[in-house]
Structure 1
């Protein structure tokens, strides 16, 4: 058993089998849907969440994990004599990281907070790497440089099916959203310096995958036979299958992993999110 406990928040979209395998503690953010609060991944499943978004005219909000949540979790493990490495969602985009830093400063013990500067499996891949290294007996001082390297190599691209959730969350203007919907524009976004940024846009869903593949080629090259790549999806399983097919044919990756985009990310992007994550050489 490692004496280092790996903790993350629910923005990281780490698949349940890996949470179980590495005994990772997940601190949930809160999703507010139609006036009701749900703990992300605890009180509402991803399937239920996307079904509600498709069927009802509701726009969810999220609220950060709190000081009290982190204090409770950190104290639990420091009392067991463990060191803690918390890998956080982007500190620029959410106050969750700050909640953890405040809690950590009020507790005696070895607690480290690492800013992933990312979202979804951009965080998750770092969490899993930290957990793997911890099980190998690596120390925090050895793990953090490995995370820095992986963070610098990661390229995460995703597309959203509708602009209305980005508009409701204040990410784009209502005029832009209205014009985009009329022209059937699908934005392609990436994660840069801790924020989601638009890379380009395409007309119509059928052009999304080819554009995403093109962007990955520019950033990571065409031969990815020596790496595992990751495909992200929400409730558009047809698009997921298409992306798997094209990614296999184009990049010949060593392996493909999957991540189901969770309710916190989905609150801002809406249903129909598809993503791909690869690594620069």
Structure 2
């Protein structure tokens, strides 16, 4: 059925070419930078955002997408006779999902919501798959079942370059951040129960990629040749290329997809963020 409209929020970090290919509607969250509000990915580009963080030493904040935003979007597509599926960023970490549920309850029409319990392109993988299936005529129940299964198989790791932003956002204590900075500790993180969670830590940035590769092998297996591995980056293109080289050498995947980590996730992790998303094969 091609009357299904797939909607997500800007936490999903989907590359523009895929948004355009599948006609995905993205509801932006708000980023507050230097006391000025920007719609994520609309009023400020990712490159501009990270450049500001590097040059001005500022600590941005984020604000959830609102009831009014979702009400407008839901009504727009319901009035076109479409059924709506909204795939959300983690409800544990942001009130955006709750805004959508409230708007859904106040809107006449067939609207479905799915809490990904995730961030960044972990959401994006689900959204793109849902949009692909919708374009091929699958029904809503089939799509919901497929993305639930895909979510369970998706594996993510990422590493931050500085602990300052995690500390400012209350994710770690100031003592841990200070000690980590002195010892040049780089944490490797994943997502558990809808929140960022530590996996391990390494000394020095040069050891991050080898540890990530080791963890991917342990959790996903070594035979990933049949899949597209997704590599996330903020503004560190050299680290992106190093990770690309390691992924090609160790896994020889069918393809590599790059996604730039947007300003909402970047607000809490800072510049220099690198990540990998793949599917568990074991």
Q: TM-score, normalised by structure 2?
A: 0.99
SS of the counterpart of 1:225? coil
Distance 1:73 1:61 in 2: 24
Deviation at 1:254, TM superposition (A): 1.1
Match runs of 1:83-162 below 5 Å: 83-162=83-162
In 2, the alpha carbon distance for the partners of 1:190 and 1:231 equals 14
The alignment partner of 2:197 has SS state of strand
Residue correspondence of structure 1 range 1-281 to structure 2 within 5 A: 2-281=2-281
SS in structure 2 at match of 1:43: coil
Distance 2:257 2:29 in 1: 24
Distance in 2, Cα, partners of 1:266 & 1:46: 9
In 1: Cα distance, 2:166 partner to 2:23 partner:
34
Distance 1:57 1:151 in 2: 36
Structure 1 residue 195: Cα displacement: 1.0
Deviations 1:5-24 (A, max 9, x none): 00000000000000001110
User: Deviation at 1:193?
Assistant: 1.8
Q: CA RMSD in A?
A: 0.7
Query: How far apart are residue 223 of structure 1 and its match?
Result: 1.2
Cα offsets for 1:120-176 (capped at 9, x unmatched): 000000000000000001111110110011100000100000000000000000000
User: How many residues are paired up?
Assistant: 281
Question: Equivalent residue of 1:272, what SS?
Answer: coil
The CA distance in 1 between the partners of 2:96 and 2:214, in whole Å, is 34
Looking at structure 2, the residues matched to 191 and 256 of structure 1 have their Cα atoms a distance apart, in angstroms, of 21
Runs (4+) off by over 6 Å: none
Residue 2 of structure 1, CA deviation: 1.7
Superposition deviation, residue 36 in structure 1: 0.4
Structure 2 residues without counterparts, runs of 5 or longer: none
What residue ranges of structure 1 are gaps of 5+ in the alignment? none
CA–CA distance in structure 1, aligned partners of residues 111 and 16 of structure 2: 24
TM-score calculated relative to the size of structure 1: 0.99
CA distance in 2, matches of 1:4, 1:275: 31
